[in-house]
Structures are given as structure tokens and as C-alpha cells.
Amino acid sequence: MSIFSNYIHIVFFIWFSVLSIVFFEPAPFDILFVPILAMVLLHNKVRGRKLICLFQYLDKELVLFIAVTFLGLYFADNFKVGLMYSIITLYLILTTVVVRYYLDNGGKVEIILKGYIVSALIALVLGLLPYYTGIGEMFIYDNLRVKGPFKDPNVFGSYFVPAAIIMLEEIRNSKYLNWSSVIKILLAALLLWGVVVPFSRGAWLNIAAAGLVYMIVIIRTLNWETFKKYASVLAIFILITGGSIIGTSRLDFLFSRLGLLAYDQDRFSTQAESLGLGIRVKYNTEEEKLKLVHKDSAEINRVNSNDLDDTSENIPDTNINILLKKLIGISAGQYEENFERSAHSLLIRTIVENGLLGVILLFVFIGKVFFRMIKGLLVEASNSPIFPIPVLLAVLTGIMVNGLFIDTIHWRHMWVFFALVTPFKVWQNVTGIKT
């Protein structure tokens, strides 16, 4: 990116540094996307390339997934909600194009690393400082849980997992962050603390899966010096986490979160019902629909009188329409319009809203992402110029496990990490891996 060399890295650093601030929309990350996309388009044009050249940074499965998403709007009960949801999905997929273009044209991996770490630390301060001081109530979810600059505790806790894994990798193999070992150890412990104290079971599963995969991948290279540093991280983490939970009388609440909760059965029942695809929850009155409060740890009530007025006339469930719904879904953003609760699952939401075609396309894309990472490990490309493969594999595994119980389709940071595992043509350019 020679014509932007004096400031492009600063712009991208700022962009990633605000990734965690999403308690209002459009978020700063979303706003900055517009001028950054314009810069990419201008740079592409100055280099004499056609617009279609940008498609090399986009997996064809995602192109088809977006097509299915917009086709599904035909069945939207609330077209306005469906259209907005589809546009957000398109925008997040386009962020993968921008990130990949940046990396393939002189971008620096350390800019992304440092930006993400800064964004995680911003989230940590905005969430946990008010949690323990009482200052800044807008970042508190309730008396026992914190959401920080996010909309709910589940995303807040999970956001620190990639940052913690990044820091562990830098402790083991310092390559991008020119910081002292003491600072890295303290930051790793603080980030792990951030995963635990929102009391999100999804975040706990996320870090458990990511940590396990990471340790399996790097175990052969783990020397005694690194082991001692990791032990220090663990000791500091236990000290500050145990002290903060016991000191604020939340130990009983912690234990109560370790098993199934009362609302889990309702959630699972709704998921089972929703998989009927053609079946929908019926309401006797509009007032009954207005009573829905999507607040069971993830959703804020967004069903109001205006939504009911905007709801389009339902498409009759003829045999052909039922078949089409099974193929392309009931339309993006319609799960809450049709059922009592949020989907609480990437898989369930995709099946219901994007149909059989949508779920196949999305998970074929995800499968390709993991195939690229595993291939990278097998050819020992972990020291390549691209993002460290052990980190990517661990982080995306954690997010996928998290996605079994949380709807992650609009998690901005998930798409950022997807972007770092580029299509094979670009992957070969930046890693030297022959395909």
C-alpha cells in the first residue's frame, strides 16, 4: 500500500482499537469501515485493477451465502428487520475483504495484534472498573454481571479469549509485541480474569476450548522457561480472580452458573420447535406478543408496537413455500419474530433463517477455514509472515464452540479472525505455502 504508507497503518490500528466499543450502533468500528473501504477501493483503482479483482479476497461460499440471505427476505414477517439484518451480515463479510486486502498489500500483522489488545484493554477498563467501583452504571448488566462496552455479558467475556491467547503466544514466541515479559504475563492474567468475571458459561467454554487446542498445538515447543511464565500467568490469574469474586461475595453465584439454569429448558424447547422450520409460535393477541422480553442473558426486548405495525402480511404456508423455507430459511433476523426466544446458537439460527442451503454454504466456508489452518500447521508455516496459525486455530475453535450456545453470526471479531485465514491464493502470497 505504498501510496498510503505514511498513515494507513495508523488508520487500521485505530480501527481495530475501537472494535470492542459496540454498546451503541453504528459502532465506531462500523463508522470507520466506510472511509477505510473507500481507501481500499481507491488504492485498487490507482493500481489499475478492476473492482472484480477484490473478489479474490472473498470466499465464493460467502458470496452464495449472502445471495441466499437476501433471497430469504421473500419470507420475512418483518421486512425492515430482515433487510437490516441482511445488510449487517453483508457488511461483516465485506470486512473480511478489507482486512485481507490490507494484509496482502503491505499490511502489518502487529497492527492488528496491537489494535485488538488495546480494544480488549479498553473493554476491560470500561467493564470491570465500574463493576467494582459503581462508577459508570451503563456498563453494568445487572447487580451480578457486567457487559462493559457490549450489549450483554456473553460477548463481553468471550471478547477477551482471543486477546489472552495472543498474549500467551507472545510470551512463548515474542514476534510482534516488543513488550517485556512481565507486562505480557500481567496482561495475560488480566485478560483471563476478564473472561471469568462476567459469569458467562459460553465464554468459559470458549476459553476452555481455545486453551486446550492452543496447548495441544504448541506442546512440542513448550520449554521450561515458557512453562514457568505460563505458571506465573496462572498464579496471578487465580489470585486476582479468586480475590475479586470472594471479595465481592459472588462465590455462590459462580457455583450457580456451573450447571443448567432454569431458563435453559425453555431455550432448548424453543430451539427444538424452531427446527420444524415451517412451524411457528402463534400468539393469541398482539398484547401477548408484546410481552416477549428477549433478555435471558443475551437479548434486549426489541418487539414493540411499531414492529407489529411494520410486520408484513404472512406468506401462506403452501407446500412450495414450506419447501422453499427449508431451502433458504424464514429470512434473516426473523427468529425473534417467530419464536419466543433468541436462537442462542449459530447453527440453529442459520438453519432456521437461512435454510438448508445457507447452513451448508456457511459451514463449508468454516470447514475451508479450518482446513487452511491445519494445512498451515502441517507444513510448519507457523513462523510465516501471516498471523500466528496456533493462535488462529485456537481462537476460531473457541468461537465455534461458543457458537453452539450463543448466536455469533454478527460478532465483529469473529469475522476479523475469519479474515486472517485468507483464501488459498492470498495465503500463498503471504505465507509461501504452495496449494
Q: Is 281 exposed, middle or buried (0-12, 13-18, 19+ CB in 10 A)?
A: middle
Torsion angle (degrees, nearest 10) of CA 195, 197, 203, 209: 60
Residue spans per domain, the chain: 2-259+370-431
165, 171, 164: which is closest to 225 by C-alpha?
171
Q: Is the dihedral of CA 390, 392, 398, 401 positive or negative?
A: negative
Task: Extract the C-alpha cell encoding 263.
Answer: 431458563
109, 95, 88: which is closest to 54 by C-alpha?
95
pLDDT at 118 over 80: yes
Q: Is 375 exposed, middle or buried (0-12, 13-18, 19+ CB in 10 A)?
A: middle
Going by pLDDT thresholds of 50, 70 and 90, the confidence category of residue 425 is: low
CA distances to 129, 132, 241, 251, 259 from 248, rounded to whole Å, are 13, 8, 11, 8, 21
Name residues whose C-beta falls within 8 Å of residue 268's C-beta, 6 or more positions apart in sequence.
none
Question: How many angstroms separate the CA atoms of 240 and 225, rounded?
Answer: 23
Going by pLDDT thresholds of 50, 70 and 90, the confidence category of residue 289 is: very low
Task: Extract the C-alpha cell encoding 283.
Answer: 400468539
Going by pLDDT thresholds of 50, 70 and 90, the confidence category of residue 383 is: very low
Tell me the DSSP string of 125-170.
HHHHHHHHH---GGGB-SSS-B-TTSSSHHHHHHHHHHHHHHHHHH
Question: Poorest-confidence range of 284-288, 314-318, 319-323, 335-339?
Answer: 284-288
pLDDT at 423: 60
- Kindly report the average pLDDT of the chain as a whole number: 85
Cβ 327 vs Cβ 75: under 8 Å: no
pLDDT in tens, 321-378: 778 888 999 999 999 888 878 889 999 999 999 999 999 999 999 999 999 888 888 8
Going by pLDDT thresholds of 50, 70 and 90, the confidence category of residue 318 is: low
